[in-house]
Chain A
Amino acid sequence: MRSTRTHLRMAASVLVAGLTLLAVAATPALASGAVGDTATPFQLKGVDGKTYSLSDYKGKVVVLEWINPRCPFSDRHARERTMTELAKQHGDVTWLAINSSNPKSSEFTPPAEHVAWNKKNGIEYPVLYDESGAVGHAYGARTTPHMFIIDPQGRIAYNGAIDDDPPGRKAKPERVNYVGHGLDAEKTGGKPDPASTKPYGCTVKY
Chain B
Amino acid sequence: MRHALPTALLAAGLGLFLVPGRAAGAAGAWASNPQSRVRLISQWRVAPREGELRMGLQFRLAPHWHVYWKNSGDAGFAPTLIFAPVAGLSRPELLWPAPRRFELPGDLVAFGYQDEVVYPVRARLHGAGSAGRAGTNRLALLALVADLDYVVCEIDCVPYRYRLSLEQPLAPPGSQDRGAGRGELDPQTAPLIERWWARLPLPAGALAGVATDGVLQNGPEGPALEVRVSGVRAGAEADLFLETHEAFEAGRPRARAVPEGVTFHVPLRTKRAGAELPARTSFAWTATGLQRDGRTLALEALREVAIAGRPGADQGSASSSRASAGAPASWTPPDSRLTALLAAAALLLALACWGVLPLPRPARLARAGARQPDGAARPERPAGEAMQPNGASAAAALQALGFVLLAGTLWLLYSLSFQLSAEGVAAIELALVAMALLAWLRGRAGRRTRLRFALAVALAACAALPPWLAGRSRIGEPPPGGDPANRSQQGRDSAYSIDSHP
CA distance A196 to B150 in the complex (A): 23
**Which B-chain residue is minimally distant from A143 (CB atoms)?**
B75
The residue that A8 contacts in the complex, of B108, B244, B335, B397, with Cβ under 8 A, is B397
Distance of A5 Cα from B147 Cα, bound (Å) = 75
Q: Which residues of A contact B272 (CB under 8 A)?
A: 34-36, 195-196
A8 in contact with B394 given A168-B159, A198-B244 (CB within 8 Å): yes
- On chain B, the residues within 8 Å of A119 by CB distance are none
Query: Does A70 interact with chain B (Cβ within 8 Å)?
Result: yes
- CB-nearest residue of chain A to B245: A198
A203 touches B104 (CB 8 A): yes
Q: State whether the Cβ of B309 lies closer than 8 Å to any Cβ in chain A.
A: no
Interface size on A, residues (CB 8 A): 53
Q: Pick the contact of B363: A7, A34, A168 (CB < 8 A).
A: A7
> Do A167 and B75 have beta carbons less than 8 Å apart?
no
B480 within 8 A of A: no
B8 at the interface (CB under 8 A from A): no
A142-B108, A202-B156 known; A26+B271 contact, CB < 8 A? no
When chains A and B are docked, how far (Å) is the Cα of A136 from the Cα of B74? Answer: 13
Residues of B contacting A: mostly? mixed
**B345 nearest CB neighbor, chain A only:** A18
Scoring B107, B147, B274, B346 by chain A CB atoms within 10 A of each residue's CB, the highest score goes to B107
CA distance A35 to B362 in the complex (A): 58
Q: What are the interface flags for A1-37 relative to B under an 8 Å C-beta threshold, 1 for contact and 0 otherwise?
A: 1011111100110010011001101111110001111
A19 to B401, CA, bound (A): 15
Asked if residues A167 and B366 are in contact (CB atoms below 8 Å), the reply is no
In Å, the complex CA distance between A6 and B397 comes to 12
Q: B382 CB to closest chain A CB, in angstroms?
A: 21
- CA A4 to CA B395, docked complex, whole Å: 9
Query: Is A200 part of the contact surface with B, judged by Cβ < 8 Å?
Result: yes
> Residue A61 at the B interface, CB < 8 A?
no
Please tell me if the beta carbons of B365 and A1 are within 8 angstroms of each other in the complex.
Answer: yes
Contact residue among A3, A8, A35, A200 (Cβ-Cβ distance under 8 Å from B77): A200
Which of A4, A133, A159 meets B394, CB within 8 Å? A4
Inter-subunit contact A203/B274 (CB<8 Å) = no
Q: Please indicate the chain B residues that have their CB under 8 angstroms from the CB of A18 in the complex.
A: 342
The answer to whether A22 and B334 have CB atoms under 8 Å apart is: yes
Interface residue A204 (Cβ < 8 Å from any Cβ of B): yes
A residues near B270, Cβ cutoff 8 Å: 34
Which B residues are in CB contact (< 8 Å) with A166?
77, 149, 151
User: Cβ of A136: which chain B residues have Cβ within 8 Å of it?
Assistant: 106
When A4-B394, A7-B360, A167-B149 are in contact, do A203 and B251 touch as well, CB less than 8 Å? no
Pick from B74, B269, B404: contact of A34, CB below 8 A. B269
Interface status of B452 (Cβ within 8 A of chain A): no
Other than the given A22-B339, A136-B106, A198-B244, 9 more pairs (CB < 8 A) read A5-B394, A25-B334, A28-B221, A35-B273, A72-B157, A142-B75, A166-B149, A202-B153, A205-B106
Can you list 11 A-B contacts (CB < 8 A)?
Answer: A18-B342, A30-B267, A70-B156, A72-B159, A102-B105, A156-B273, A167-B161, A200-B72, A200-B77, A201-B157, A202-B153
Residues in B lying within 8 Å of A, measured CB to CB? 72, 74-77, 80, 104-108, 110, 147, 149-151, 153, 155-159, 161, 221-222, 244, 246, 249, 251, 267, 269-275, 331-335, 338-339, 342, 346, 349, 360-363, 365-366, 369, 389-391, 394, 397-398, 401, 404-405, 408
